[in-house]
Structure 1
Amino acid sequence: MKDTITDNEKFHSIKIAIWLYFFLWIFEGALRKWVLPSLATPLLIVRDPIAIYIIIKAITLNVKFFNGYVVFAYIITLLALIVTLTFGHGNLFVGIYGARIMLIHFPLIFVIGSVFTKEDILKMGYALLAANIVMTLIVYLQFISPQTAFINRGLGGEGSAGFSGAMGYFRPPGTFSFITGLASFYIMVSVYVFYFWLSKERVSKVLLYASTLALIFSLPLTVSRTAVGGVALVGVFAFIGSATSFKKLMKVAFTIVILFLLFFILQNTTTIFNLGTEVFMSRVDTASGQSGGFEESFFSRVVGDFVRPIVNLLKMPFFVGKLGMGTNAGAQMLSGSNSFLIAEDELGRVGGEQGLILGGGLIFLRLVLAISLFIKSIRLTQEDKLLPMTFCGTALYLIVLGQWAQPSMLGCAVLTVGLLVASLNMNLKQE
């Protein structure tokens, strides 16, 4: 116990910085749209100084986060930066902007995994449950308000932040700059909603019930297939992690019944929820018609985002000096346009920026990390499996296919995977 208290005090400053990183992930878009619109561009990297501080502090406090993944990522990224500046586009700022993803954000995964205890993981869950209620109120107001309203103001205070949806309604971004950030937020919230319903952890019932209701209410209003599909996937992993005995199976069945009951009540008593469901299904039908069927709309896109870039990667030159060019900010600096200069999907970006050798190596690194974390989670004892497996429901996707070039998605990936690593290590920390 004495060692645990000492470690908590020792890592206190790092934990505060991680919490600041967490809150800036949620509210970065709000700062860029509503609070400090004139600083929208520099605020794009507002978490970077925090990340650098965490790494420096972790080194000085001898936090064991320099593992094979971090070293391999550093080698690949530094080589890619050298190739970019020597034979590629040659823009130092674009190259550094691209390199920062693996150099200063990726290592945070293992810092969080090393310093966070179970108590820290649960505290972040309580914060997410509370933030979810506020976020849903904002999403509701964005959904019912015209795109000219203040709450739908775009980055820099210009234009609108909503993205095309269906039936004349737009996909709201919440406090984020884009719908992908909001979708990742709700998926992360669902990890804790499912976990607290299925575990014996102490949590305010009022908070859990209110946040669960807010999550169900918000999903149709997002008009986002990613959000709905991601929450469903988290639920599948949570049930796999909890269904280990007849008693647990009954608890899983009870949770499913409660969730469906809440959906049924909202559908039949709330006009806006009913409208949101209609708009969401209209968008699904439209996307399904374009891609060949309902299943295509949700699942084939994920498969395509993995298979297509791998096939294209095999046709790439050994080395490509385009580091940072695949990000929107990099594209803006190089061409003055926010359009994707390489690829919208993550693996396509990585391969297109760095080529067959370095890009392929980075993709391989992320695949190995995802597989390793899943194997460690599934091998845990039954009583320790639920939390890591629930995190796997979103962390594995974020590692392999998450769009790390997008700041909000990068922040979510760092936090979610870091919490997964911490949940795998928490039993060792408590010993």
Structure 2
Amino acid sequence: MKLIVGLVAVTLVVYLSYRDWRRAIKAVFLILVIDGALRKWVLPQASNAIYFLKDLVLLGAYLRYYIFSGNERVYPIKNNFINILILVASGWCIFQAANPNLGSPIVGLIGLRSYLFYIPLVWMTPSLFDSEEELYKFLRTHLLLLIPVGILGIVQFFSPISSPINQYAPGNPVKIETFGFAGSTNVRITGTFSYINSYQGYISACYALLLPLLAMKQPYWWRILTFIEVFLITLNGFMTGSRTPVIAAALLIISFFGIRALRQPDTTLLWLSRLFPFVTVAGSAALIGFRPVIEAFWMRLTSNKDLGERILFGLVGPFDLTQYTALDGYGTGATHPGTQALRDILNLAPGKMLPVEVEVEMGRVALEIGPIGFILWYGLRVSLIIALWLTFLKLKRPFLRDLALSACLIQIILFISQMVFHHTYSIYYWFFSSFIFLLPWLDYVEDWREK
């Protein structure tokens, strides 16, 4: 009976997303934010099923757009360097999914989902938005979710560690993480997300979307809401106790407005002068009303001296793993945390034991798809950064240009962080990458309308 109910539910979700692929894609960004809340508080008994909900929605949208689109406009996949590199890197990942070291190709499917499943978004978004205004309205509406999520984060921080509001998603018996100092220990918040890691990826991605909105001229109340969102997301970044979102936000702000100041010094400096009152008020409010947050984060930042070592290992460490992989690898999904559970459920062959445990994503990628795949995968990621920068340089409309710049910078800043194994940030990553095709198209459309 459970199997029948499950199949009916899966079919229904895929069918509904198939009916309207545009709404389905936009709904995925809502599901990203609320699926953790559903898993933790609403339907914990269906936690694993909810985890795959957004994938089922995307599956229906993919089927409609790429196979059964009919007379709907489909953005052509052109024969250019980026697309060729995507296809080559994807081909190698598919090849590694059948790696005999996995014990079973079924295990490789988990890896393929992590590497490839969200790539089709790159070619869909040019058909998703018909104008710059539509893109802007989607982004500002999506970012409104930061307000309830941010308020929830504040409540979590000041709630007891044992409170149900601070629990993680079921199925992974992890101790609730805390930070602070003697006599003042607080929980590291997760917002509506399942775990801290998922939330910090969301914070970084939203910062990259907020900065272009901050820099553009918006209606008065939308500008106020944007300021509130920036304040809440900054405060929540500290409350996670994670250094990554805070450092990423600082680097993003400095580089974003620094580059804008070099290209447009007069307008940027004028805008920053108008921003100064908000920074003053928000900073004062944070120091007065949320002093425990700043102190707890500062204690964590100064007590851990491994940041430089982690960055260095993230860049250099993967090359040391070639001694274990030769020219091959252990297969896509070999280091995925759900691999062992899948083997146990389906009674699959154990596969070859990994020679070493690696936490850094670049090292895990090197182990899974080998040095050839590593070069192809990170060569693709470098190429996407270059393509976003070139897109930024050639765009005419300020808002679109700022989006390209912000997407380029966040991909540089989080280059060694998790993307393949981060089910939240990975969707944003490929959405940002789609700007290579989306933004020039919208730039052309708006230019044509003005003529």
Q: TM-score, normalised by structure 1?
A: 0.84
Mapped to 2, the partners of 1:112 and 1:421 lie a distance apart of 8
Aligned partner of 1:17 in structure 2 is: 24
Residue-by-residue CA offset, 1:26-55 (whole Å, 9 max, x unaligned) = 112111111111111222222222222222
Q: 1:225 Cα shift?
A: 1.0
- The answer for the alignment partner of 1:329 in structure 2 is 338
Match of 1:183 in 2: 200
1:274-313, aligned counterparts within 5 Å? 274-288=291-305, 291=306, 297=307, 301-313=310-322
Question: Match for 1:264: what amino acid?
Answer: G
Q: Which amino acid aligns with 2:328?
A: F
Which residue is equivalent to 1:124? Answer: 138
Of the structure 1 ranges 274-283 and 138-147, higher mean CA displacement relative to structure 2 is found in 138-147
Q: Does 1:92 align with 2:105?
A: yes
Q: Secondary structure at the match of 1:223?
A: coil
Task: State the partner residue of 1:210.
Answer: 228
1:269 aligned to which of 288, 301, 318: 288
**Following the alignment from structure 2 to structure 1, what is the Cα–Cα distance between the partners of residues 431 and 39?**
21
Residue 75 and residue 36 in structure 1: after superposition, are their counterparts in 2 closer, same or farther (change >3 A)?
Answer: same
Partner-residue secondary structure (3-state), 2:144 = helix
Cα-to-partner distance string for 1:293-338 (whole Å, 9 max, x where unaligned): xxxx3x66334312321343476311123321222112443489xx
Is 2:118 the counterpart of 1:105?
yes
Q: Which residue pairs with 1:354 in the alignment? A: 369
In structure 2, what is the Cα distance between the partners aligned to 1:392 and 1:259? 26
Distance 1:101 1:107, change over 3 A: farther
Q: What is aligned with 1:56?
A: 63
Aligned mates of 1:175, 1:266 — CA distance in 2: 24
Aligned equivalent of 2:179: 165
The 3 A distance-change label for structure 1 pair 70 and 50 is: farther
Deviations 1:380-409 (A, max 9, x none): 458453221122232344566433213223
Structure 2 counterpart of 1:74, from 58, 81, 90 = 90
2:250 maps to what in 1?
Answer: 232
Distance 2:303 2:436 in 1: 35
The count of aligned residue pairs is: 405
Q: Distance in 2 between matches of 1:118 and 1:28?
A: 29
Residue 135 of structure 2 is aligned to residue 136 of structure 1:
no
Coordinate RMSD, CA, aligned: 2.9
Q: Distance in 2 between the 1:209 and 1:328 partners?
A: 38
Alpha-carbon distance in 2 for matches of 1:227, 1:241:
21
Unaligned runs of 5+ in 1: 1-10, 292-296
Question: Identity, % of aligned pairs?
Answer: 19
Q: What is the CA–CA distance in structure 2 between the aligned matches of 1:127 and 1:230, rounded to whole Å?
A: 23
Contact 1:152-1:161 at 8 Å conserved across structures: no
Aligned in 2, Cα 1:241/1:52: closer, same or farther, shift over 3 Å?
Answer: farther
Q: How far apart are the structure 2 equivalents of 1:63 and 1:249?
A: 35
Q: Would you say the 8 A contact 1:320–1:353 is kept in 2?
A: yes
Deviation at 1:190, TM superposition (A): 2.1
Alpha-carbon distance change, 311 to 130 in structure 1, aligned in 2, over 3 angstroms: same
Structure 1 residues 429 and 12: CA distance shift in structure 2, 3 A:
farther
Deviation by residue 1:97-144 (Cα, 9 ceiling, x = unmatched):
111233321222332245334234312321233111111111111111
> Where in structure 2 are the equivalents of 1:385-396 lying within 5 Å?
385-396=401-412
Q: Which residue of 2 aligns with 1:320?
A: 329
**CA separation of 1:317/1:97 partners in 2, compared to 1, >3 Å: closer, same or farther?**
same
Q: Which amino acid aligns with 1:190?
A: Y
Aligned residues of 2:114 and 2:423 also touching (Cα < 8 A) = no
Deviations along 1:236-272, one digit per CA (max 9) or x if unpaired, are: 23214532334223235326634531343213431xx
State the match for 2:237 in structure 1.
Answer: 219
Asked if structure 2 preserves the Cα contact closer than 8 Å seen for 1:327 and 1:405, the reply is: yes
Give the residue type in structure 2 aligned to 1:74.
S
Aligned amino acid, residue 423 of structure 2: P
Would you say the 8 A contact 1:326–1:405 is kept in 2? no
CA distance in 2, matches of 1:18, 1:396: 25
Equivalents in 2 of 1:206, 1:200: separation in Å?
12
The DSSP-based 3-state class of the residue aligned with 1:177 is: coil
For residues 168-192 of structure 1, the C-alpha deviation after alignment (integer angstroms, 9 at most, x for no partner) is 3232111111212211222222234
Deviation at 1:200, TM superposition (A): 2.3
Do 2:392 and 2:404's aligned partners in 1 also have CA atoms closer than 8 Å?
yes
Deviations 1:340-393 (A, max 9, x none): 974222211111011122333222222222222223324445845322112223
Q: Which residue of 1 aligns with 2:167?
A: 153
Q: Which amino acid aligns with 2:35?
A: E
SS of alignment partner, residue 427 of structure 1: helix
> In 1, Cα distance between the equivalents of 2:171 and 2:90?
37
Whole-Å Cα distance in 1 between the matches of residues 417 and 440 of structure 2? 22
Instruction: Report Cα offsets for 1:196-215 as digits up to 9, x if no partner.
Output: 22222446233123223323
Contact 2:21 2:61 in 1 (8 A): yes
Q: Does 1:377 align with 2:392?
A: yes
Provide the TM-score with structure 2 as the length reference.
0.80
Of 265, 268, 271, 1:249 maps to 268
Structure 2 residue aligned with 1:343: 358
